[in-house]
Structure 1
């Protein structure tokens, strides 16, 4: 046998002696408590692909909105988040968006 194999075997024996198995008189450890599924705490990112024309138009709109609001800038994130909030709160807008999507797909 090689010296490396002897060292590995000796180390395994030493570890086996250092951590004895629980005897029959020792109580078995209690099973872990069931874990609950964590509720997502962070926002979820979404992305959108825009044509170059739509991207430029949105940039222009954002600059105009920033000017009207007295802000340095209005981000695309601000716009999309506000649009989603409006979409989910307004049934008429929701129906309009559904009709637009249906028309684009036919």
Structure 2
């Protein structure tokens, strides 16, 4: 069974969670005389988790009718707001923010997606 991207991400996160946070590095000397002090172990500080700060690009394929309708809506909205234009980026960002914040809207979208699937 092929692992999905989500499965691979979860597995990688789990692997990183279980990884030791400190590593001991020692230098080995072939032989030491009694007067020499043993080499010191050096502890490396744990690596800080990498947090994505750059935005992530998503693309969407629209039918010509939906694309034209979105363009018209953006122009009408720009007129209503007194702006030169409203970008598709602004529209999609607002929609995603609203979707993630509004559980009723999210449930409506779930039903729409389920109805579209065979």
TM superposition score normalised by structure 1: 0.70
**Counterpart mapping for 1:1-106 below 5 A:** 25=36, 27-28=39-40, 30-106=42-118
Structure 1 gaps of 5+ residues are 1-21
Deviation of 1:68 (Å): 0.6
RMSD in angstroms over aligned alpha carbons? 2.1
Deviation of 1:39 (Å): 1.1
Per-residue CA shift, 1:16-74, capped at 9, x if unaligned?
Answer: xxxxxx97558457243221211111221111111111111101100111111111111
Structure with bigger helix share is 1
Structure with larger RCO (C-alpha < 8 A, sep 6+): 2
Question: In terms of Rg, which structure is larger?
Answer: 1
Structure 2 gaps of 5+ residues are 1-27
**How many residues are treated as equivalent by the alignment?**
86
